Amino acid sequence: MTAEPVLEVRPSKAELVRAAAERLAEAIHGAQADRGTAHVVLTGGSMGSAVLAPLAEDPLRGLVDWSALHLWWGDERFLPAGDPDRNDTQARAALLGRVPLDPANIHVVGDPSAGSAEDAARGYAATLVSHAAPGATVPAFDVLMLGVGPDGHVASLFPDHPALAAAGSVTAVHESPKPPPTRVSLTFSALGAARAVWFLVAGADKADAVAAALAGEDLRTCPAAAVAGQAETVWWLDREAAAQVSA
Ligand code: 6PG
């Protein structure tokens, strides 16, 4: 059972980012109040970093117990640690280097120094299962954020790509149509384990993908259509991205 999508539309990208950041801080605060900790999956791309930055500033900063926040990535570009194009490098600049997280709770994906993308996928899957409930392969992520490409990709799951059919929780991705070509991504199975899935989408170039996803298009041509949260699915959209789906 998954949650029907809810649209949160704001007039501009800036207003969208602010609203999503505020709700993210509130969601983390609530999860920590209920369970003592929170697990959040970050996304790469411009929206992924933009939503993180406001959390480093008060009042949002003060809502989060940074020592009890676990951060994961929905996908990672398979580049050397510290490479500016890695999602974790961009997240560190936006937020992680500005708040007192416990380094043990920042769960980055491996890099080429440790072997192949397949090795990194195996290692990330092992870390996920070590934080999961008995019988589960990934933690019950409190919020899993996803940017969406113009082609409807999410994480590093691209249309008509073999990775769409990957088993398990994490897969290596080769020949990505969006550079860099080699990546590591959560699979549909892992993405769908989240309590809340939030899509973060801005810009007119995404309007077709948003409409296709919400119309339930085939996952092979619109991977975003196949992802929903167990308890909540929110499409955070600016007016341009929502042009075909809301008044
Ligand atoms: C990546 C991202 C990717 C991204 C989308 C949207 O590693 O490239 O995870 O899935 O989220 O391409 O990116 P924008 O938000 O920058 O449009």
Residue 115 has pLDDT above 90, yes or no: yes
- Averaged pLDDT for residues 102-127: 98
Among protein residues, the one with the nearest Cα to ligand 1's atom 14 is 45
Q: How many residues does the chain have?
A: 247
Tell me which of 153, 164, 183 to substitute to probe ligand 1's pocket, judged by most ligand atoms within 8 Å of the beta carbon: 153
Question: What's the per-residue H, E or C state across the chain?
Answer: CCCCEEEEEECCHHHHHHHHHHHHHHHHHHHHHHHCCEEEEECCHHHHHHHHHHHHCCCCHHHCCHHHEEEEECEEECCCCCCCCCHHHHHHHHCHHHCCCCHHHECCCCCHHHCCHHHHHHHHHHHHHHCCCCCCCCCCCCEEEEEECCCCCECCECCCCHHHHCCCCEEEECCCCCCCCCEEEECHHHHCCCCEEEEEECCHHHHHHHHHHHCCCCCCCCHHHHCCCCCEEEEEEECCCCCCCCC
Tell me which of 178, 206, 210, 222 to substitute to probe ligand 1's pocket, judged by most ligand atoms within 8 Å of the beta carbon: 178
Q: How far apart are alpha carbons 87 and 77 in whole angstroms?
A: 7
pLDDT for the residue numbered 246: 79
Q: In a 10 Å sphere around its CB, with 0-12 CB exposed, 13-18 middle and 19+ buried, how is residue 36 labelled? A: exposed
Per-residue pLDDT tens over the stretch 162-209? 999 999 999 999 999 999 999 999 999 999 999 999 999 999 999 999
Band the pLDDT of 235: cuts 50, 70, 90.
very high
pLDDT for the residue numbered 2: 84
pLDDT for the residue numbered 220: 98
Q: How far apart are alpha carbons 211 and 245 in whole angstroms?
A: 6
Ligand 1 nearest-atom number relative to CA 87: 7
- Tokens coding 129: 């299962």
- Averaged pLDDT for residues 29-56: 97
Rounded percentage of the chain residues whose pLDDT exceeds 70: 100
Q: Which residue has the tokens 């949260």?
A: 229
Band the pLDDT of 247: cuts 50, 70, 90.
low
pLDDT for the residue numbered 236: 98
Q: Which residue has the tokens 């619109």?
A: 222
- Averaged pLDDT for residues 74-88: 98
- Averaged pLDDT for residues 19-38: 98
146 C-alpha vs ligand 1 centroid, how far in Å? 8
pLDDT for the residue numbered 121: 98
